[in-house]
């Protein structure tokens, strides 16, 4: 298997972090340089279908993009430790928090960074108003997560899952905007610190 990857970008980081939590080491990493546009070259597009990373090329040649689809495939191939839920109930709760993390936090913050950070001008026709709106939406949504984390150690279950990885990486991307988690969100602060201390956090940088 080959993982098409790039450093610093949040979506490939999800997959690297996920693999590190599971101790997966037999996936070849192929680094693409987004700023040089290697993800837009015809040979990559023919495989991936979209000018995006990450992409996972399986041993039979099937290639999938979408970081969570890649993680689901890896979960089937390497079931332990479980990161998508063990029972039907747990699986539904993990999916719910993973989608909330994606839609309420990761996507707005990603748009904030893409439209506001000068380095991203190479990839985006920047509109600062879009960036500011999305950054503020992401910040507001953190309060939903703070309420959840007031009564739960992790977002979805009694252990770390894909929901925590998607949520934390979405929030952590805002370091590019020099944005800190508001101090009064003490439960998000506690959880974010626990995420930073995971051994897998380094692989996920």
Ligand X SMILES: N[C@@H](CCC(=O)N[C@@H](CS)C(=O)NCC(=O)O)C(=O)O
Q: Verify binding: residue 9, ligand X, rule CB under 6 A.
A: yes
Q: Scanning residues 82 to 141, which ones bind ligand X (CB under 6 A)?
A: 123
Q: Verify binding: residue 34, ligand X, rule CB under 6 A.
A: yes
**Which x/- pattern over 51-80 shows residues binding ligand X (rule: CB under 6 A)?**
xxxx----------xxx-------------
Angle at 108 between CA 123 and CA 33, to 5 degrees: 30
Query: By C-beta, is 119 or 186 nearer to ligand X?
Result: 119
Q: Hunting for tokens 């994606």 — which residue is that?
A: 102
**Among 11, 134, 157, 174, which residue sits at the site for ligand X (rule: CB under 6 A)?**
11
Query: By C-beta, is 10 or 131 nearer to ligand X?
Result: 10
Structure tokens at 102: 């994606």
Which phi and psi (to 5°) does residue 27 adopt? -110, 125
Structure tokens at 203: 């692989």
Do 95 and 134 form a contact (C-beta atoms < 8 A)? no
Query: By C-beta, is 149 or 204 nearer to ligand X?
Result: 204
CA–CA gap between residue 145 and residue 97 (Å, rounded): 9
Q: Verify binding: residue 167, ligand X, rule CB under 6 A.
A: no
Structure tokens at 189: 């602060």
Query: By C-beta, is 33 or 193 nearer to ligand X?
Result: 33
Least gap, CB of 159 to ligand X (angstroms): 23
CA–CA gap between residue 51 and residue 68 (Å, rounded): 17
Instruction: Return residues touching ligand X (CB under 6 A).
Output: 9-11, 34, 39, 51-54, 65-67, 123
């Amino acid at each position: 298997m080959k993982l098409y990857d790039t450093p610093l970008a949040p979506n490939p980081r999800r997959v690297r972090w996920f693999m590190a939590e599971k101790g997966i080491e037999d996936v070849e990493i192929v680094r693409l340089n987004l700023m040089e546009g290697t993800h837009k070259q015809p040979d990559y597009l023919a495989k991936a279908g979209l000018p995006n990373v990450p992409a996972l090329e399986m041993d039979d040649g099937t290639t999938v993009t979408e970081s969570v689809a890649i993680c689901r495939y890896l979960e089937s191939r390497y079931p332990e430790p479980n990161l998508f839920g063990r029972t039907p109930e747990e699986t539904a709760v993990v999916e719910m928090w993973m989608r909330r993390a994606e839609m309420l936090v990761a996507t707005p913050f990603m748009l904030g960074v893409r439209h506001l950070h000068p380095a991203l001008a190479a990839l985006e026709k920047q509109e600062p108003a879009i960036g500011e709106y999305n950054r503020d939406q992401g910040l507001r949504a953190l309060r939903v997560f703070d309420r959840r984390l007031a009564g739960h150690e992790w977002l979805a279950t009694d252990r770390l899952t894909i929901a925590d990885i998607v949520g934390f990486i979405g929030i952590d991307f805002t370091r590019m905007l020099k944005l800190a988690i508001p101090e009064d969100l003490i439960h998000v602060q506690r959880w974010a610190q626990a995420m930073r201390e995971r051994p897998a956090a380094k692989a996920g940088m």
